[in-house]
Structure formats: structure tokens, C-alpha cells
Amino acid sequence: MNSNPASVLVIDDFHPSFVKQLEASGLQVNYKPDFSPKSDLSLLNSAEIIAVRSKLNFTSKILSDLPNLKCIARGGAGMDNIDEEYARKNNIVLLNAPEGNRDAVAEHTIGLLLNISNKINQSFDEVKSGQWNREANRGWEIGGKTIGIVGFGNTGTALAKKLSGFDANVVAYDKYKSIDSPYAEEIDLEEMLKTADVISFHVPLTAETQGMVNTELIGQMKAGVVLINTSRGGICKLSDVQLGIISGKIKSFGTDVLENENLGSWTEKERQVVNDLISSNQVLITPHVAGWTFESYHKIADVLALKIIEYTTKAKNI
């Protein structure tokens, strides 16, 4: 960084507090929420710091054309729209804000679970059509069940805390860290798969986690398991989940994400799999909104602004 005030190019929509905090710290901000990847890529050429949510995928090809880039700040938790390996090899600092939406995602996860366990959507649809089926919509309670959390970062930790009032047995597994929490017991993945009544996934999308929920993993699970995914769609192979539901291995599936969320680009096979899932009263799908609340919109802005300010302050003093 030179002695001039650092400049931040913002190419996505952020809460107004984001720009206010950056400018108040002395940073120059070029706010372009209407940035278009098709026509505005030249804006990136001189940028040292870029703030983005999901407007652009920073592939190695795009990154290689940005020699001045020092830092990418992602307004969210996942970094799957950035080639992290290329960025790190080329000393591009990556910042994100998982602290900003962890509560939103955790609450949405519980919302999916409560909806599934109490058949809320199904019974409401029936009431709308003039049916009053009490026995067919008998639910089951979370209390006393074993709920497994795969991935114990910001969201997994928040979920365990929020589940603490349900009198469930909460267990957690994280490949990369030990779990020290009053709200969850550490367990290995093999044991979780055998014993958990509910398994909720909270892992980033990486080459390692891509398609991790597949026929092989599902085959190791307890019969009648409930699966929840509010992380990234790519970790679940939907066609394998569908087969698990058909076989009875999976009792219910709730997801906020899909492998391909660009509905207009679906292949016939992708469309058929999703349609089959939607037609089942054992499945609940929401449109990638778990982390997108009014509160998280503000929190993400505050968290990310602070991290950018800390980064520029540190860079200035080096």
C-alpha cells in the first residue's frame, strides 16, 4: 500500500453502513452496486481492494488480469466464488464475514427442522384445499433426538447454542478443529452417521466437500435420517438424496441451496430430479435465503467494514 488513502471498489449491493464506515476511517470508496460483469470489468484493472457478494466469480483467469489487486472482501461466509488457491499463491488477502449471518443461517436451519418435524407446509396446503387431516399430519418432537452438526465453525456453533433449549442430544464433527462447547459433544463422523436422527451440514464448498453427501455417505447413515443443508448446494448430490428418500433411508430433506441455482440453465435431468423432490411431502426447499435477513444485511456490512479497516491499517504500518 502506498501513502495515499487506500481505495475500495465495491461491486455489489451492501448496507449503507458499509460505505459510511469505510469513508469515516479515511478510505476512498468507489461504490458500484450496479456493476455488470459483461460491461464493467475494466473497473477492476486498477483496484487494490474489491468488495463483492456474489456479483462476480473471481476465477484464476480474471485474477491473473488484475496485477494491482491486494485484497478481496466477500460480503458473506462462503468463498466459493473466488479461486482461493490462486489468490493465496499470489498474496491476495481474502476477507469474509461469517460472523454476520451465522445467527440467520442457524435460525433458518431450525426453521426447516421444525417445519419438517411438524409437517407445517404439508398441513397448511391441505387446509387451503379444504382438508382437515390431523392424524396424517402428526408430528415428532426434537427433544430426545440426536442431532448431528457437520462443520463447527461460526454457523455450526451458533446452531448448537440455539438447539440447547430443545432438550436434544447435540453432537458435532469438524475435520479441522477440536470441539470445545457446552452445547455439543464432539463425535467422529462414522459414529454420527450411525446414530444421529438429524444431520445438518455447515461446511464450505471445496474440492474436498463437493458432492460429499452421496450414495456412499447416505448408506452409512441411520435408517430414517433427516438431512438439512444450509451451507452450499454442491455438497449434496440431489440425485443421490432422491434415491435415499425413495429407499426409505432418508425420512426427510430440508435444503436452502441447490447444486445448480441458475434455474434457466437446468438440464432435463436436473429439472426432473428437483421436480421429483418438490413433489414429495418429505422435502422442503427454500431459495438460498437462510443467511439473508434484514439483520444479517447490516451485520455483514459492519463485520466486513471493520476487517477491511483493520487490513488497511496493518498494511499501512508494514
User: Which residues participate in catalysis according to the annotation?
Assistant: 232, 261, 288
Q: How far apart are CA 58 and CA 84, in angstroms?
A: 9
Q: How far apart are CA 15 and CA 241, in angstroms?
A: 37
Q: How far apart are CA 244 and CA 165, in angstroms?
A: 30
Q: What is the largest CA-CA distance in the chain?
A: 71
Q: How far apart are CA 289 and CA 255, in angstroms?
A: 10
Lookup: cell for 231: 451451507
Contacts of 127 (CB under 8 A, 6+ apart): none
Q: How far apart are CA 197 and CA 111, in angstroms?
A: 17
Pair 226, 250: CB distance under 8 Å: yes
Beta bridge partners of 171: 148, 185
Lookup: cell for 168: 436434544
